[in-house]
Amino acid sequence: AQSVTQPDIHITVSEGASLELRCNYSYGATPYLFWYVQSPGQGLQLLLKYFSGDTLVQGIKGFEAEFKRSQSSFNLRKPSVHWSDAAEYFCAVCGAWDAGNNRKLIWGLGTSLAVNP
Amino acid sequence: GAVVSQHPSRVICKSGTSVKIECRSLDFQATTMFWYRQFPKQSLMLMATSNEGSKATYEQGVEKDKFLINHASLTLSTLTVTSAHPEDSSFYICSAKTGEPYNSPLHFGNGTRLTVT
Phi, psi of B86 (to 5 degrees): -55, -30
What's the rounded Cα separation, in Å, for the pair A52 and A57?
10
CA distances from A1 to A4, A5, A96, A99, B42 (A): 10, 12, 10, 17, 21
CB contacts, 8 Å: A32 with chain B? 103
In the DSSP assignment, the letter for residue B55 is P
Residue B85 confidence (pLDDT): 96
Predicted confidence (pLDDT) per residue in A93-117, tens digit: 987 766 666 678 889 999 999 999 9
Mean pLDDT of all residues belonging to chain B: 90
Please count the residues of chain A.
117
Whether B95 and A44 lie within 8 Å, measured CB to CB:
yes
Residue B84 confidence (pLDDT): 96
Number of Cβ atoms within 10 Å of the Cβ of A94: 24
Phi, psi of B114 (to 5 degrees): -100, 125
Residue B101 confidence (pLDDT): 64
Q: In this complex, is the C-beta atom of A103 within 8 Å of any C-beta atom belonging to chain B?
A: yes
Whether B103 and A103 lie within 8 Å, measured CB to CB:
yes
SS (HEC) of chain A: CCEEECCCCEEEEECCCCEEECCEEECCCCCCEEEEEECCCCCEEEEEEECCCCCEEECHHHCEEEEEHHHCEEEEEECCCCHHHCEEEEEEEEEEECCCCCEEEEECCCEEEEEEC
Predicted confidence (pLDDT) per residue in B6-59, tens digit: 999 999 999 999 999 999 999 888 888 999 999 887 788 999 998 888 889 899
Mean pLDDT value across residues B59-68: 94
By the 10 Å C-beta count (0-12 exposed, 13-18 middle, 19+ buried), B117 is classed as exposed
CB contacts, 8 Å: B107 with chain A? 46
What's the rounded Cα separation, in Å, for the pair B112 and B117?
16
Give me the residue from A32, A34, A109 closest to B43, CB to CB. A109
Q: Amino acid identity, residue A89?
A: Y
Q: In this complex, is the C-beta atom of A102 within 8 Å of any C-beta atom belonging to chain B?
A: yes
Residue B99 confidence (pLDDT): 65
Residue A101 confidence (pLDDT): 64
Predicted confidence (pLDDT) per residue in A2-50, tens digit: 899 999 999 999 999 999 999 999 987 778 899 999 998 888 899 999 9
Residue B24 confidence (pLDDT): 94
The pLDDT-based confidence of B5 (bands split at 50, 70, 90) is: very high
Largest distance between two CA atoms of chain B? 42
